[in-house]
Structure 1
Amino acid sequence: MLNTSSNETYEEARRQLQICNACRYCEGYCSAFPAITRLRAFADGDITQIANLCHNCRGCYYACQYTEPHEFALNLPQALAKTRTESWQAHSWPAPLGAVFQRNAVSSVFITIVAVAALMLLIRALPAASGDGFYAVLSHGAMVALFAPLFLFPLICLFVGLKRYWKDIGGERITLAHLKDAISQAATLRNLSGGHGEGCNFESQDRFSQARRHAHHAVMYGFLLCFASTSSGTLLHYGFDLPAPYGFWSLPKLLGLSGGLLMTLGCIVMLTLKAKADAALSNPETHGADQAFVGLLGFVGASGLALYGLGSTAAMPALLALHLGAVAAFFVLTPYTKMAHGFFRLAALVRDAQQRP
């Protein structure tokens, strides 16, 4: 178990959860509130679990009668956001890397992109690569040698972090039924639809909207399409001896272009909604890091689209370096950024499925 009993963030979250448990007005709003009402007391692991169930839709805050200026001064979205961030940092591995990113988000993204882009340009200065398209700039072997470690290392880090998280919240043996329930909720983002089904009021207390849910859908499915594009290209290369470049109507190209469009548009909408939302209802200490990561993810999609559009021009080598630099930054920083919340939230949904009667 993590030593959080003396942590002020957890103590404040515990105080607010006890008041919410006594009130129960928001019981039907999302998965967090049924989880709250199942408990009589809140251990640190319980608070970590509830915090990772919360989607920060803010409906509970705007419906609450105990927010300021009431003496209880409840702000549960912020309390859970702070707890959620601390739980990711506490479970992350290696922990110092997560702390570095949270303190220096924009510079971490920038330095990683520039470093990988510079490495690519250095490799390009070596004897010319053989191949067509992108492989004329960087050989297939060089790409694999560069990106395989950058892909595998974050997976190992996430695995260690999730293992720590699962132990901390008292997770049990996972069954197919639990996993199916959690994936169904994650795939539909049910908890962003609000208890009434009209959406959440993330941007404004007076307006319910599905915009945030749709933006998250665009980013999530855009990312999965891009991953499917890379996977199909790998299968064609190694399984059918059909190396890139591929034509427009090929599976890798169609999946990649549609995924890139969804990811770019989704990130733009997310950044717009964040700019409209009340920053006092989230964790102000991670606002910059969250914005930087969403911006990075959007840049990955946009630079990929630009690379496709200008792939036959003299700008291609520079665009390829920037795009692959952004992809590398995304991979390396994933365990320490908001991207990690997708994995922790899925684990939280699995645990919630185990705990429901």
Structure 2
Amino acid sequence: MQSLEALAREATDLAAGRNLPALNADEAEVGRILQICNACRYCEGFCAVFPAMTRRLAFDKADVHYLANLCHNCGACLHACQYAPPHEFAVNVPQAMATVRARTYSDFAWPAGFGNLYRNNGVTVALSVAGGLALFLVLALIIQGTLFHAPLAGDFYAIFPHNLLVSMFAPVFLFAALALGIGVARFWREAAPGAASGAAIAETTHDVLRLTYLDGGHGQGCNNADDAFTLARRRYHHLTFYGFMLCFAATSVATLYHYVFGWEAPYAFTSLPVVLGTVGGIGLLIGPAGLFWLNLKRHPEHGDAAQKPMDRGFIALLFFTSLTGLALLAGRDTSAMGLLLAVHLGVVMGLFLTMPYGKFAHGFYRSAALLKWAIEKRRPNPVGVGSDG
């Protein structure tokens, strides 16, 4: 029986014979590790990465990008692997995948020159942008003499007129959506997955909404540094994701009220926009706080330590978006509403400005990778690979 090293060399020779595009050092490391994993296959049932891997004999740049974004960094394969560090093979799938995953965000970024912001979008940059914008709005209110005022019964538009807010936020939101959309479209074109069936789309939607692959492939969750299983990471991700979606739904419903029905803010505490925003805000407070706590505790081998500033910057912005929003809701009938509103708007604008070039992008790239997996698993294995060859 051939050794893992011999099988890995065979795969490398096959890749060279096919004239595949050259890989950078990080991508080559993923390719090396996947060749070993392809020979071992102990983790084949853990998550989508490993059955997708077995459909390939060699790994080009597009394959590495795709599989890196398919990885959810749960850590189960690292703790199960007999070739993990300190073994000489040094197989660390989560860490290698995380390093390449961040590079895909940078490589596919639009405009291309903004790609380096992924590496620099740390806590300091994220909070500086949000704080600077909030300070600008506070200074504007000081100049107008409206920073503190008589209670206005929650009438935000008495502080910042509706049309002014639209002119400030609409371009930022549209740019963020466009930049993210173009980046993911570039990734999708490179992956070349083909047409998606209704069944593939339904499966992808299910896996995205349930965060299926954060269960470690066995339903027990991710691994802690002490090797114990936990579902905490999955649960905090759910609170963050659904909290954000509920807040977005609250804004969407309020927009519908304003433009379709002519119902202008402020809305009652029992109204649909306020209820959705409150519940979402609580989720968006607990979820990021939990993720930040887990990020502080996580072992360096579970991911790319160089990405921690980017991760924490995004988590911090989500947390402060919720915190300032709930504070504004609680104090909207007080004389401090103008100050609370300016701070909240500054944080929200900071979130959207940095959104295309921070950790927020990972959800879109991962969803695209999951859709590619749902498409390709419904096709026969390539000739010469597996039982369908």
Number of the residue aligned with 1:11: 28
Identify which of 47, 63, 68 aligns with 2:80: 63
1:8-157 alignment, distance < 5 Å = 8-121=25-138, 123-124=140-141, 125=143, 133-157=155-179
Deviations 1:141-163, CA, capped at 9 Å, x for gaps: 11000000010001110111011
CA shift, 1:132, in A, is 5.6
Task: Compute the displacement of 1:190 (Å).
Answer: 0.7
> Please, what TM-score do these two structures have when normalized by structure 2?
0.87
Q: Could you tell me which of 301, 322, 333 is aligned with 1:301? A: 322
Check whether the contact 1:193–1:210 (CA below 8 A) recurs between aligned residues: yes
Is residue 272 of structure 1 aligned with residue 289 of structure 2?
no
Q: Deviations over 1:176-214 (max 9, x none)?
A: 33222111100011101122111111x234311111100
**Paired residue for 2:383?**
none
> Which region of structure 1 is more displaced relative to structure 2, 256-265 or 118-127?
118-127
Q: Distance in 2 between matches of 1:285 and 1:171?
A: 30
Distance in 1 (CA, whole Å) between partners of 2:270 and 2:198 is: 36
Shift of 1:313: 2.1
- Number of residues paired by the alignment? 354
Of the structure 1 ranges 63-72 and 170-179, higher mean CA displacement relative to structure 2 is found in 170-179
2:240 counterpart residue number: 219
Q: Which amino acid in the other structure matches residue 36 of structure 1? A: M
Which stretch shows the higher mean deviation, 327-336 or 253-262?
327-336
Distance 1:141 1:42 in 2: 52
Separation of aligned partners in 2, 1:5 and 1:339: 29
Deviation at 1:126, TM superposition (A): 5.1
Cα contact 1:98–1:336 (8 A) shared by 2? yes
Whether 2:328 is the aligned partner of 1:311: answer: no
Contact 2:246-2:276 at 8 Å conserved across structures: yes
- State the secondary structure of the residue aligned to 2:222: coil
The amino acid that maps onto 1:251 is L
Amino acid across the alignment from 2:126: V
Gaps of 5+ in 2: 1-19, 147-151, 379-389
Segments of 4+ in structure 1 off by > 6 A? none
Q: CA deviation at 1:4?
A: 6.8
1:236 counterpart residue number = 257
Instruction: Give the 3-state SS of the residue equivalent to 2:188 in structure 1.
Output: helix
Quote how far apart the aligned CAs of 1:59 are.
Answer: 0.6
Amino acid at match of 1:181: E
- Deviation string 1:3-61 (CA, Å, 9 cap, x unpaired) is 97241000011000000010000011111111111111111101111100111110100
Change in 2 beyond 3 A, CA 1:131/1:172? farther
- TM-score, L = length of structure 1: 0.94
Distance (whole Å) between structure 2 residues aligned to residue 205 and residue 17 of structure 1: 25
List gaps (5 residues or longer) in structure 1.
none
RMSD: 1.9
Between 1:67-76 and 1:140-149, the stretch displaced more is 67-76
Decide whether the 8 Å contact of 2:130 with 2:351 is kept in 1.
no
Per-residue CA deviation, residues 69-119 of structure 1 (Å, 9 max, x unaligned), is: 211011111000001000111011123323135225233213321332244
Percent sequence identity over aligned pairs: 42
